[in-house]
Amino acid sequence: MKIRQLFDYDTWTYTYLIWDEATKEAAIIDTVIEQVERDLQLVTELGLTVKYLLETHVHADHITGAGSLRKKTGAQIVIHKNSNSPCADILTSENDVLTLGKQEIRILHTPGHTDNDSTYLIEGAAFTGDALLIRDCGRTDFQLGSNEALYHSITQKLFTLPNNTLVFPGHDYKGFNQSTIAEEKAFNTRIGAGKSLDEFSILMDNLNLPNPKRIHIAVPSNLKCGNV
């Protein structure tokens, strides 16, 4: 599987274009509406057919480009069933499998940042959305987030993946672009090095983060796949 990471400078969002080189079937994970033309041009230049638009969750910090890209490519929008998204084409559950050519995309339900987080597992790489970030993790204080759920998702699901699994997050705010499960188990500042649920919860409950600027626009828009 080929992977191309893309960055939206305004919202610090990573988008991922992945494709099977043999069949040129592609998926795009977590698109951003302002970057749709860029993404379409890249897909065209690489000669790819976009089959899936994979959302890791209903985002609160940017508006998805999925609706717009579906119109222009015919791809199917995929998101976890807990989102109750009325516009998605495929609502997923734990361990569902999608395919690009002979390559498999396996879905883990990794809630805690929201109730509808998915991690997409593809050939030794985990696209973790806002569940597991690099040395960090998603906040748990809105959108049905839960310290207990996120702790369980990360320690019982993601940290049990092979150590050399690459971690590709939904955002990074320090300029890291990838990590590994081994690194996060050892060095994640919020949940690594064997932190207990109590330690994790105290830390998460004291973050005192402001709401994302666009949350009141982004969440309803994303439940409509970007209003397209």
Q: Which stretch binds a copy of itself (CB under 8 A): 4-12, 59-67, 149-157, 216-224?
A: 4-12
Residue 91 CA, chain-centre distance (Å), reads: 15
Q: Which is nearer to a copy of itself, 137 or 219 (CB)?
A: 137
Q: Is 63 exposed, middle or buried (0-12, 13-18, 19+ CB in 10 A)?
A: buried
Q: Does 45 bind a copy of itself (CB under 8 A)?
A: yes
Q: How far is the CB of 177 from a copy of itself (least distance, A)?
A: 5
Q: Does 187 bind a copy of itself (CB under 8 A)?
A: yes
Rounded Cα distance between 106 and 119, Å, is 8
Q: Does 194 bind a copy of itself (CB under 8 A)?
A: no
Tokens at 120, concatenated: 């997409």
Q: Does 7 bind a copy of itself (CB under 8 A)?
A: yes
Q: Which is nearer to a copy of itself, 44 or 156 (CB)?
A: 44
Q: Are 106 and 80 in contact (CB under 8 A)?
A: no
SS3 category, 67: helix
Q: Does 8 bind a copy of itself (CB under 8 A)?
A: yes
Query: In the set 1, 23, 24, 38, which binds a copy of itself (CB under 8 A)?
Result: 38
C-alpha torsion 119→120→124→128, nearest 10: -30
Distances (CA, A) of 223 to 55, 60, 155: 11, 10, 29
Q: Is residue 226 left, alpha or beta, with left meaning phi > 0 and alpha meaning psi from -120 to 50?
A: left
Q: How far is the CB of 222 from a copy of itself (least distance, A)?
A: 20
Q: Does 186 bind a copy of itself (CB under 8 A)?
A: yes
Q: Does 63 bind a copy of itself (CB under 8 A)?
A: no
Q: Which is nearer to a copy of itself, 15 or 103 (CB)?
A: 15
Q: Are 158 and 179 in contact (CB under 8 A)?
A: no
Query: In the set 18, 26, 28, 35, which binds a copy of itself (CB under 8 A)?
Result: 35
Q: Which stretch binds a copy of itself (CB under 8 A): 55-63, 82-90, 107-115, 168-176?
A: 168-176
Q: Does 102 bind a copy of itself (CB under 8 A)?
A: no
Q: Which is nearer to a copy of itself, 111 or 159 (CB)?
A: 159
Query: In the set 1, 46, 91, 217, which binds a copy of itself (CB under 8 A)?
Result: 46
Q: Read off φ and ψ for residue 51, nearest 5 degrees.
A: -100, -40
> Which has the closest alpha carbon to 61: 13, 100, 16?
13
| Residue ranges that bind a copy of itself, judged by CB under 8 A | 4-9, 15, 35, 38, 42, 45-46, 174-178, 183, 186-187
